[in-house]
Amino acid sequence: MNTINIGMVGHNFMGKAHSHAWRTAPRFFDLPLTPRMTALAGRDAGRVGAAAATLGWESTETDWRRLIEREDVDLVDICVPGDLHAEIATAALEAGKHVLCEKPLANTVAEAERMVAAAEAAQARGVFAMCGFSYRRTPALTLAKRLVDSGALGPIRHVRAQYLQDWLTDENTPLTWRLDKDKSGSGSLGDIGAHIIDAAQWIAGSDLTGVSALLTTFVADRPIGGDFVGLGGTGGTDGPRGPVTVDDAAMFTARFADGAVGVFEATRFALGRKNAMRLELNGSKASLAFDFEDMNALWFYDAADEPNAGFRRIQATEPEHPYTGNWWPVGHGLGYEHAFTHQAVDFIEAIAQGQAPSPSFAEALQVQRVLEAVATSAADESRWTAI
């Protein structure tokens, strides 16, 4: 069987998840190309070496440019903050490497547009690019997409999307790159809001055409250099503090091209909500609801069941459901990381078949345009802003 050599840039939270995906995909799925974890790039030689040993990469680089130049790398997997996406992805595509780029695609629309141009040029040469909106491959959400595509919902009228976390609730949680606009582009908006924008547009099968938005920052400054644990952490209360330059919460109303209306909210201050990535779609014939905090379930209401209708808690673990037949018997739930494995599977299959993968950079650019419109509207008295 042929091999596809992977080179990954970055080795923190996302790097850990992507490594698991490349390692696990060929053990559960019958792939046309076997991924080989060839090289890992990171700035610090000591840290990248340790990460490669832990995560299982065969070699390391301390400069992502070197990684891209390597002949034994076929696919570049970008797992670094958003300010570096455009440069790395463009260079990799030009070097003839397939690219998997974490979301959000970039920190600005201009960057994203350059990336789309590079991706389209590359595709003409059989080189493919994909953006890592991994939640699309959570089986319950993939099933949601299938149900909408099947026409089960009829015309969709309402979309409500929330992404609620609480790891910034404490005012002394330390500053990280995620709170620095230069690194991250935005706060809750790009970090988690991007996920629900992509998921909503993808599942509804319709793009947003305009928004009215409100952004807010609850905590203006935070401790520098605290002890960071996972996403959150605990800083000291006496040391120096630095400014938070991004939004703590983002809220907007929206219209979709097909006539639906939407309400979106992303925050990292919803105390008690740990990873409540929630979507609900109401059509004229059926409705769907999902909450990542119960990630193996999709709730489905079918008006055809009336008067004995009710939201059904479908456990998206049947052999007929997306991806799940390759794992365990029904009811034996999957976890967060499985979506990354499915993403790896689908990207490898797309490459092997010479078909464009999805989400394409163009789809991710559309998300970027929504993010920009949200920021524009919020800065202009919430005025309606077309996309």
The footprint of its own copies on residues 253-282 (CB under 8 A) is 253, 255, 259, 261, 263, 265, 267, 269-276, 280, 282
Task: State in angstroms the smallest separation of the CB of 226 from its own copies.
Answer: 15
Among residues 194, 190, 182, 208, which one has the least CA distance to residue 248? Answer: 190
Query: Under the criterion CB under 8 A, does residue 61 sit at the interface with its own copies?
Result: no
Among 22, 252, 323, 361, binds its own copies (CB under 8 A): 252
State how far the Cα of 78 lies from the Cα of 95, in Å rounded to an integer. 15
What residues from 1 to 60 belong to the interface with its own copies (CB under 8 A)?
13, 17, 19-20, 23-24, 27, 54-56
154 vs 149, 204, 211, 256, CA distance in Å? 9, 11, 24, 15
Residue 63 or 227 having the CB closest to its own copies? 227
Q: 60: helix, coil or strand?
A: strand
What residues from 68 to 87 belong to the interface with its own copies (CB under 8 A)?
none
What residues from 335 to 354 belong to the interface with its own copies (CB under 8 A)?
335-338
What residues from 104 to 163 belong to the interface with its own copies (CB under 8 A)?
143, 147, 157-158, 160, 162
What residues from 208 to 237 belong to the interface with its own copies (CB under 8 A)?
212-214, 216, 218, 229-232
Among 74, 83, 166, 346, binds its own copies (CB under 8 A): 166
Among residues 171, 169, 174, which one has the least CA distance to residue 224? Answer: 174
Say if residues 121 and 93 touch (Cβ distance below 8 Å): yes
Kind of pairing between the strands at 129-132 and 276-283 = unpaired
Among 58, 151, 313, 355, binds its own copies (CB under 8 A): 313
Query: Under the criterion CB under 8 A, does residue 328 sit at the interface with its own copies?
Result: yes
Residue 329 or 354 having the CB closest to its own copies? 329
**Quick one: DSSP state of residue 58?**
S
Query: Under the criterion CB under 8 A, does residue 318 sit at the interface with its own copies?
Result: yes
Say if residues 362 and 201 touch (Cβ distance below 8 Å): no
Task: State in angstroms the smallest separation of the CB of 129 from its own copies.
Answer: 26
**Interface region with its own copies, contact rule CB under 8 A, candidates 97-105, 121-129, 288-296, 342-350:** 288-296
Number of neighbouring beta carbons within 10 Å of residue 269: 18
Say if residues 364 and 103 touch (Cβ distance below 8 Å): yes
Among 5, 142, 173, 315, binds its own copies (CB under 8 A): 315
Query: Encoding tokens for residue 79?
Result: 């797992």
Number of neighbouring beta carbons within 10 Å of residue 304: 8
Residue 41 or 314 having the CB closest to its own copies? 314
- Ramachandran region of residue 283, left (φ > 0), alpha (ψ -120 to 50) or beta? beta
Query: Under the criterion CB under 8 A, does residue 332 sit at the interface with its own copies?
Result: yes
Residue 92 or 249 having the CB closest to its own copies? 249
Among 169, 172, 245, 358, binds its own copies (CB under 8 A): 169
State how far the Cα of 380 lies from the Cα of 43, in Å rounded to an integer. 40
Query: Encoding tokens for residue 32?
Result: 């046309």
Residue 120 or 294 having the CB closest to its own copies? 294
CA atoms within 13 A on the CB side of 148: 26
